[in-house]
A = this chain, B = another copy of it.
């Protein structure tokens, strides 16, 4: 299994690749990934998971001058990315690379943002770092093999550690040898269990990967020592946690083929493999009977759907994000599947509960992960069917820039109010910003009626908090 050089080649790529070699399309994908992520970070900045993480980190003595998106508080170089990573991922509304099921922005963007702010980097430096960090995450996720995900690893947490370290290390100016150490330290921390899906700990995986990545890069910069082959070594990450290690997936055409091109921005706030079922539900609203006249629903989907979305009777918002039954029900009832559809209230609402109990799932390996067949039978025996070949937001049907802008405005508005458009504009223009601080500054709500405090005194903020996922 030992293939010396895989980690070193990855490190070389992360340190040495030239901005000019990134294709325009790829750079655009990186900017969209950043824009989506920072908007979610603002929108979820008062979610219960973030409030608890912030309170904990303050108690732990983590102080500093690094921005939290959407909040006035500042934290240290690892604690800020931890909170930001939680915020980006907690609504499961971020982005996803369908082959690896990695959500690369949540670990990578916060690490890059914090270090970029710390070193005074430009927006273009940030985009470089995110591009390399996402690429490292996804290449490692691919290289660890399908068995890695199948066994139950949350790949966003495992591979995300390496991506965050690469992004942070790039911005800290590590040389190749020190980048190997950064990737080595990050490899030995790579973790995250699918068992945590439906709880706050899921988003914590992303935040922790971000924080650990920054720490690993800084330890490397200061002269820490680590293994030379942390990924591919005899007792390295692939040997202990991989499932069908394929080093070629990590190094082949590195810097030529870009996996971020296959990173999908999510239109719905739940596990991505149920998105096609939601599309089908929304499409069925036109000709379907009233919900109480539906006798049964059959969904034919890829087996991975029940692997990760099999919660049949979710009792809170975070758990509802992992229930394809709930997803289909809100799609049909509400015509939507944004954060308001994944609150504790909605998880327990009579209409949702009644409908989702009628949903049956048939697994079919021939159905793609972004595909779904839905068959509704009403009480008269009439049948209503929809087939979704590729879900909205998939690589074949990506969200347009206009749709992405609408999504970003929608999530940031409750926190930023009048300042939303300026913030989202700056995010779309991040590649031309002279400094990352110009973006983070715009993410903090301006005081409205009451003088600004560190607490959520604005009404908009309070309503956001109330809308957060229950616990």
Instruction: List the B side residues contacting A227 at CB < 8 Å.
Output: 193, 195-196, 199, 201
Contact across chains for B240 and A224 when beta carbons are under 8 A apart:
no
Knowing A223-B52, A240-B153 are in contact, say whether A234-B195 is a contact too (CB < 8 A): yes
Q: How far is the CB of A274 from chain B (nearest CB, A)?
A: 17
**A273 contacts the other chain (CB 8 A):** no
**A241 contacts the other chain (CB 8 A):** yes
* Cα A192 to Cα B187 with chains together (Å): 8
Query: A residues touching B (Cβ–Cβ < 8 Å)?
Result: 48-49, 52-53, 55-56, 59-66, 75-79, 151-154, 157, 184-185, 187-197, 199-201, 204-205, 208, 214-215, 218-219, 222-227, 229-230, 233-237, 239-241, 318, 471
The chain B residue sitting closest to A205, CB to CB, is B188
Contact across chains for B204 and A56 when beta carbons are under 8 A apart:
no
Contact across chains for B52 and A222 when beta carbons are under 8 A apart:
yes
Knowing A188-B192, A193-B230 are in contact, say whether A62-B61 is a contact too (CB < 8 A): yes
* Cα A188 to Cα B56 with chains together (Å): 18
Contact across chains for A200 and B188 when beta carbons are under 8 A apart:
no
* Cα A326 to Cα B320 with chains together (Å): 57
Q: How far is the CB of A242 from chain B (nearest CB, A)?
A: 10
Instruction: List the B side residues contacting A205 at CB < 8 Å.
Output: 188
A64, A192, A200, A201 interface centre (most CB from chain B within 10 Å): A201
Contact across chains for B78 and A60 when beta carbons are under 8 A apart:
yes
* Cα A188 to Cα B236 with chains together (Å): 19
* Cα A226 to Cα B200 with chains together (Å): 6
Contact across chains for A61 and B48 when beta carbons are under 8 A apart:
no
Instruction: List the B side residues contacting A63 at CB < 8 Å.
Output: 61-63
Q: How far is the CB of A310 from chain B (nearest CB, A)?
A: 10
The chain B residue sitting closest to A192, CB to CB, is B188
* Cα A56 to Cα B222 with chains together (Å): 7
Contact across chains for B215 and A60 when beta carbons are under 8 A apart:
yes
* Cα A77 to Cα B79 with chains together (Å): 13
* Cα A157 to Cα B235 with chains together (Å): 14
Instruction: List the B side residues contacting A77 at CB < 8 Å.
Output: 59-61
Instruction: List the B side residues contacting A184 at CB < 8 Å.
Output: 196, 199, 201
Q: How far is the CB of A239 from chain B (nearest CB, A)?
A: 5
Extra contacts besides A60-B62, A187-B193, A199-B227 (18): CB < 8 Å: A52-B222, A56-B222, A56-B224, A60-B79, A60-B215, A61-B63, A61-B76, A61-B77, A61-B78, A62-B78, A154-B188, A188-B204, A193-B230, A193-B235, A196-B226, A200-B224, A201-B227, A241-B241
* Cα A218 to Cα B56 with chains together (Å): 6
Contact across chains for B226 and A194 when beta carbons are under 8 A apart:
no
* Cα A379 to Cα B34 with chains together (Å): 70
The chain B residue sitting closest to A82, CB to CB, is B215
Contact across chains for A157 and B188 when beta carbons are under 8 A apart:
yes
Contact across chains for B79 and A218 when beta carbons are under 8 A apart:
no
Instruction: List the B side residues contacting A64 at CB < 8 Å.
Output: 60-61
